[in-house]
Amino acid sequence: MHYDLIIFDWDGTLSDSAGAIVRSIRLACEKHSMVTPSEGAMRSIIGLGLDEAFVKLFDTLSDNDRIHLKDSFREAYLTMVENIVLFDGVISGIKMLHHQGFKLAVATGKSRRGLDNALRKANLTDYFSVTKTMDECFSKPHPQMINEILDQLMIEKEKALMVGDSSFDLEMASNASIDSVAVAYGSQAPAELQNYHPRQIIHNPHDLFDWLRIHG
């Protein structure tokens, strides 16, 4: 199968940010004297928009308490964001795919401001034709992000591939009727990812870009 377009999730797929997200949730809970969810539960919401993630994690809280908790999460995360790096091999891999002629896109649960800042920090802004964020679209696994990317680039579904580290990424790809590849070095375990029938489950970033170069 030859693809013209590769759509990447950001957190946990290109950016090694899962640990910072988990630590920020933990700090927010401690600030509000709340029981911290298990690490597995916290990792399971990575990929969702922040509102959807906190509803899932803290479904018994009032809306007002949840707002305060999200504010504390943002405060904690902002203290860590400058130290978050991309996985080893991501920058060279993105440049290689771009040089080979692939169109590249991002579909992320990050905010527009957060993604734009991350792209600028990595000097990768110009390598992505389209980016979609959670404050512009329905949250994953709704297919809106992918559908809008396909429409903007005028690419057929069978020519597009989604790459992500979470069940939400893979389910979004399935809902949009495009193929997916899962990465198991981010937020979720291979056994969870296999349930969504990705073409491949890949265990480190270097292998990801080798696979995309050969099979894309």
Q: Which residues contact 75 (CB under 8 A, 6 or more apart)?
A: 28
This prediction's pTM? 0.90
Show which of 44, 64, 83 is a domain's final residue: 83
Which tens digits make up the pLDDT trace of 30-62? 999 999 999 989 988 888 888 889 999 999 999
Task: Please check whether residues 160 and 53 belong to one and the same domain.
Answer: no
d(CA 164, CA 108): 10
Which tens digits make up the pLDDT trace of 5-31? 999 999 999 999 888 999 999 999 999
Q: Which residue has the tokens 């590769």?
A: 6
Which tens digits make up the pLDDT trace of 69-92? 999 999 998 888 888 899 999 999
d(CA 187, CA 205): 14
Which tens digits make up the pLDDT trace of 90-107? 999 999 999 999 999 999
d(CA 86, CA 93): 11
Task: Please check whether residues 159 and 119 belong to one and the same domain.
Answer: yes
Q: Which pLDDT belongs to residue 48?
A: 82
Determine the structural domain holding residue 151 and report its residue range.
5-16+84-215
Q: Which residue has the tokens 């964020």?
A: 133
